[in-house]
Amino acid sequence: MNKQTYVVHDHHDERHQGAVTFPIYQNSLFTFANYDDFDAASDHFFDHFVYSRGNNPTVRELEKRLAGLEGGEEARCFASGMAAISAAVMSVVKQGDHIVCVDQAYGPAQAMMGSYLQKFGVTCSFVDGTSIDAIAAAILPNTTLLYLESPTSLFFSLQDLEACVQLAKKSGAATIIDNTWATPCFQNPLRFGVDLVVHSISKYIGGHSDVTGGAVIGSHERLERLNQNEFMLIGGLMTPHTATLVTRGMRTLPLRLEQQQKYGLQIADFLQTLPYVRKVHHPGLTSHPQHELAVRQMEGFSSLLSFETDIPLQDMRKWTGLLKYFRIGVSWGGYESLVTIFPLPLGAGVNSNSASAPCTILVRLYIGLEHPDDLIRDIRSAFEQIGLSEGD
């Protein structure tokens, strides 16, 4: 079945009077007619509906859909992407273990693995994910996890998933990948042998900037262990109401992404023509150094991209405010286009004291669902208002 049909089509279900969309089970608990049934369900807690920090039918429905879309046996939803990432990582490592993590992974994920887990005796090395040799060199005898994010969400650099999995398997380490950028529509890392896929549902999958959520997808065996431990004990569950909104958002995921892929590439192409844009980061561009790998391991490109410019920080801060359709804000994946800027090298911080110091600026654009002609006019007009025309 095509992914588009898969997210749109629901079977007729007599249990719910044939309701065309899956009902919201707004319950914390489920009751039983007799104690034998209660015992039987409690003994196989995750196969039954006993308590919603366990299984809830509405959340379960979303989990089944996500697992199917990603090509995995099982999925578990969480309250946020970070709850999913933390649960996935903790399900793999124990005291004394070492993690190899790509150095452009999502910031809080890096902080969790690089700093927070130290108090449990887990260490972490950060490596350039574009170099398989660098990854190989970072693996130690006690490395039990290779943590990937491909493409990364500021510079959009990739890891060769097949090579990474081979390397990890050889050293007995598990692999986890953050697949938020590509979504299950455009990349299915389990196919390459990755052990666990994590998503921030708050982005494209939710698709309407109205929920936070996360998911972990993988084999029955890995998810069973994660359910018993990190899910049950830390308890960062997704609520049924959120699950309904996400199931609804997911119905248009393939359609949104098909359109956003086009828009994103159109804007990236346009940016490349601007004389004061030094470099555009988008794996769909033939100018991207890993374009060939991108085409090989992904089926498409989403619409979060970035560019570098030497325009002074002060002017670029002003530029962001002059944009009409791009709003200033973190996150992405909804209808509305967004902009954020980062002085390079990263970590320098965007504060107005340093605003006049010369540096390169990384501008991250999220291309939403406005018409790209309007977005291009908007970008052009904001540049003109800070005194730059395309002849400059």
302 binds ligand PLP (CB under 6 A): no
* Host H or E run for residue 166: helix 161-170
Closer by beta carbon to ligand PLP, 41 or else 112: 112
Binding mask 22-61 toward ligand PLP (x if CB under 6 A, else -) reads: ----------------------------------------
> Nearest residue by C-beta to ligand PLP?
81
Strands (E), the chain: 74-78, 98-102, 123-127, 143-149, 174-178, 196-200, 214-218, 277-281, 304-309, 327-328, 338-344, 360-366
Token pair recorded at residue 57: 């039918």
Residues 173-232 that bind ligand PLP (CB under 6 A): 178, 180, 200, 202-203, 212, 214
Strands (E), 13-169: 74-78, 98-102, 123-127, 143-149
Residue 209 half-sphere exposure, CB side, CA atoms within 13 Å?
Answer: 14
93-104-72-165 Cα dihedral, nearest 10 degrees? -70
325 binds ligand PLP (CB under 6 A): no
Selected from 153, 157, 187, 188, the binder of ligand PLP by CB under 6 A is 153
Q: Strand 174-178 relative to strand 196-200: parallel, antiparallel, unpaired? A: parallel
- How many residues bind to ligand PLP according to rule CB under 6 A? 13
| Contact region with ligand PLP (CB under 6 A), list: 62-70, 74-82, 338-346, 347-355 | 74-82
Selected from 59, 92, 100, 106, the binder of ligand PLP by CB under 6 A is 106
Closer by beta carbon to ligand PLP, 80 or else 91: 80
80 binds ligand PLP (CB under 6 A): yes
Nearest approach, Cβ of residue 142 and ligand PLP (Å): 26
The number of helix segments (H) and strand segments (E) in the chain equals: 14, 12
| DSSP three-state, residue 366 | strand
Closer by beta carbon to ligand PLP, 109 or else 265: 109
Nearest approach, Cβ of residue 181 and ligand PLP (Å): 6
Residues 135/127, Cβ–Cβ less than 8 Å: yes
Measured from the Cβ of residue 171, the count of other Cβ atoms closer than 10 Å reads: 14
Q: State the residues that interact with ligand PLP by CB under 6 A.
A: 80-82, 106, 149, 153, 178, 180, 200, 202-203, 212, 214
